[in-house]
Amino acid sequence: MTVEPFVQSSDLIKKGDINMNFIQVDKEKCTQCGLCVNVCRGALGIGTYGPEVIKQQCISCGHCVAACPNGALDNLNSPLKNQVLLKKNLNLNADSAAQFLRSRRSIRSYKKIAVPREKISKLLDIARFAPSACNLQGVSYHVIDNPNTLKKITEITIEWAEEKYKDDTSTLASSIKTQVDNYHKYGIDVVLRSAPCLIVAITDSSMMSIGRDDTHFALAYAQLYAPTIELGTCWAGFFENCATSCYQPLQRILNLPQNMSVTGGLMVGFPKYTFKRLVDRNPLQITWE
């Protein structure tokens, strides 16, 4: 196979733009069909010999390489050798995919056993493949499985809620006060549901907004994947609200690097119960024009 760096057309490339030469084309395989250009967000164009870089727009998404029907293209930013050839025989149809998606449940009762760290790593390894703005992939994780720390996080979140909502008469506040009562009266861990593990998603504080969006996708992937490795999850919204309010006692216990902020939390554990039915939800609301 002759894979050689594509000769860039000099009128399109600014002098000194050394980062632009990241496309390699096997000229024997390339039919110049333009598919790689069509799936790209704007970095590639079709030149005399096939695709070439026309703008500094590559976000290393790998689409150009993944879409090429002939395996003719390589991109140094997202190498062909790191891509996986798709199997055609995945037995997923509209019904099985719908059942898979609808079967995801928020788990609020966990077995009192620890989750092996390898399992958590496996779970989060799938979250890497969720979409991220500009393919930035800026979400990382701080995983807490120390029972004392988890207990402390719940206590601190409860303290925060009591302080924050004490003079608040809104519906949200009254619901939170009921939860706080349940914690004090019955010892129910209304914050982390006594889960043996909490995944804290974090991003650089300078990109909090994008980081939160990316976190939601990433942790949704983890939530969907979890049951396939016997795990259950639940979004830790109560904890997240406390963490994103920068409550000092919680910040101290999380002890994150100074430039990092919390963008989400996910409880994880082995579910205590199994669900026998798919639940119903509000009817679809949709408008057309």
Task: With beta carbons less than 8 A apart as the criterion, state whether 37 and 44 touch.
Answer: yes
The least CB distance from residue 263 to ligand FMN, in Å, is: 12
Task: Name which of residues 192 to 221 contact ligand FMN (CB under 6 A).
Answer: 193
Cα separation of the two ends of the chain: 51
Question: Looking at the DSSP assignment, which residues form a beta bridge with residue 232?
Answer: 269
CB-count exposure of residue 254 (10 Å: 0-12, 13-18, 19+): middle
175 is an interface residue for ligand FMN by CB under 6 A: no
103 is an interface residue for ligand FMN by CB under 6 A: no
Q: How far apart are CA 22 and CA 7, in angstroms?
A: 11
The least CB distance from residue 122 to ligand FMN, in Å, is: 22
The least CB distance from residue 215 to ligand FMN, in Å, is: 11
The least CB distance from residue 96 to ligand FMN, in Å, is: 19
Using the minimum distance from each CB to ligand FMN, give the nearer residue, 63 or 193: 193
Residue 28 sits at φ, ψ, to 5 deg, of -75, -30
CA distances (Å), 225 to each of 127, 129, 267, 268, in order? Answer: 9, 12, 14, 12
The least CB distance from residue 153 to ligand FMN, in Å, is: 12
234 is an interface residue for ligand FMN by CB under 6 A: yes
Which of these segments, 53-61, 118-126, 230-238, 251-259, binds ligand FMN (CB under 6 A)?
A: 230-238
Which of these segments, 52-60, 118-126, 194-202, 234-242, binds ligand FMN (CB under 6 A)?
A: 234-242
Cβ neighbours of 235 (radius 10 Å): 16
Using the minimum distance from each CB to ligand FMN, give the nearer residue, 108 or 122: 108
Q: How far apart are CA 217 and CA 224, in angstroms?
A: 11
237 is an interface residue for ligand FMN by CB under 6 A: yes
Q: Which of 106, 109, 121, 175 binds ligand FMN (CB under 6 A)?
A: 106
The least CB distance from residue 134 to ligand FMN, in Å, is: 24
CB-count exposure of residue 282 (10 Å: 0-12, 13-18, 19+): exposed
Which parts of this chain interact with ligand FMN (CB under 6 A)? 105-106, 108, 193, 234-238
